[in-house]
Amino acid sequence: MIRVKSRITTVPGIGSRRSCAPGNAAPHVGEAVAQRWPACDTPGAAYTGAMPMSRTATGVLLGAALAFSTVPAAGDDKPKEPAKAASPCTRIVGVVVDRAGKAIGQSQVEIRDHRDSIPSNHPRPLVTGPDGRFTYDGLDASERYRVRATARGFAWGTTEPTTPRVEELKIMLAPAKSLAGRVLDAEAKPLANVEVALRLVEASPAPQATTDPDGKFVISPVGETSGELVAIWRECVDHVCNRKVVVRRPAVSAKDDGLTVAFTKGLVIAGTSVAADGKWVRRIGVQAIPIARATLKGASTDDWCAARFADDGSFRIEGLEKGRYRLVQWSGDANSWSGPAAAEVKGTVEVEAGTTDVVLKLVQPR
């Protein structure tokens, strides 16, 4: 036999038809709820709040939200069953709003993990409804995700990296702005067909533009946050590139509208290559990546100065800043062609900018 003690806490504002924990009846006005239902309402989550007791010893109906505790009578020493642990949260929910807090419908939302990779179960961006809300289910409870969003007339916005959680995320978008500028060569002449991108944490892909015959470009949309400006010029003939020169400028934003980007001769890394079969391999080359960036996980290996091997196996990488670089394989073909005679750079080669006697060994790929 047990004696029942009731502990009732009234929650103001609970209506007669408001939903409660899954499977429990909705409480009526004046009835009590002792504890909220699971923090993360995911399939299979265990309800750890107080379970309802339909009647007291006197037969009065208390309702689905009654919180109670049992006190064993004399001689009744049966142990209580431990509460079931809630399942880990695997959901991220949120809303996209403007600066005034108004929901932005038709927003494009995407999610990335800590490696900046798209989860396999969410390969495509979501599009919000009129209420600006989005939901991602089936996530890894221990993974840290970043959610990005954009909409017509707005710049990209993002959240800080977060694990799946109960709190609703809010992504606030700023009005879209543009960044205009001009690109010049080492002789201060306009440089056409230069790819210019502003790498922003919140933007995917990075907003970019290509310079016109006057070397001018306009990048949009961009917001008020700053990022790394990357300008890439390729010297290509018939889709085969002989060299690539890259200029990078940190902390650039829309406030720098009207900036000038200049390509200078810079430092050089040059040398020759030795093929395993004695034949020089065309359509491949070598790329110089700063050591600090080459060792970063997930770092880009494309946007760096590079040169294709000449017929005699020589190469010359120009436009480098002072520092130490790692030399890696580069496809000199704009279409990433790889023929049967393709080769690979053997091992890891690190040199200082200004070195002109590098010898690279090439091997046949397995």
pLDDT tens string 219-276: 999 988 999 999 999 988 777 788 899 999 999 999 999 999 999 889 999 998 877 6
The HSE-up count of residue 31 (CA atoms within 13 Å, CB side) is: 23
Delimit the domains of the chain by residue range: 1-84, 88-174, 177-262, 267-363
Angle formed at CA 230 by CA 227 and CA 236, multiple of 5 degrees: 165
The HSE-up count of residue 55 (CA atoms within 13 Å, CB side) is: 4
Q: How far apart are CA 302 and CA 251, in angstroms?
A: 20
pLDDT digits (tens, 9 = 90+) for 325-344: 999 888 765 444 444 445 67
Two domains, one topology: 88-174 and 177-262: yes
Q: What is the pLDDT of residue 293?
A: 79
Give the residue from 80, 23, 85, 22 showing the smallest Cα distance to 48.
85
Give the range among 18-32, 71-85, 301-315 with minimum mean pLDDT.
18-32
pLDDT digits (tens, 9 = 90+) for 6-53: 444 444 444 433 333 333 333 333 333 322 333 455 443 333 333 333
Q: How far apart are CA 314 and CA 320, in angstroms?
A: 18
Q: How far apart are CA 364 and CA 366, in angstroms?
A: 6
Which CATH number is 88-174 given? 2.60.40.1120
Which position has the higher pLDDT, 237 or 197?
197
pTM, full prediction: 0.68
Q: How far apart are CA 247 and CA 289, in angstroms?
A: 13
Q: Looking at residues 171-179, what average pLDDT do you find?
A: 96
Cα 364 to its chain centre, rounded Å, is 36
The confidence band for 171, taking pLDDT boundaries of 50, 70 and 90, is: very high
Highest mean pLDDT: which of 56-60, 209-213, 301-305?
209-213
Residue range 267-363 in CATH 2.60.40.1120: yes
Main-chain phi, psi angles of 208, to 5 degrees: -150, 170
Q: What are 121's two structure tokens?
A: 């179960």
Which CATH number is 177-262 given? 2.60.40.10
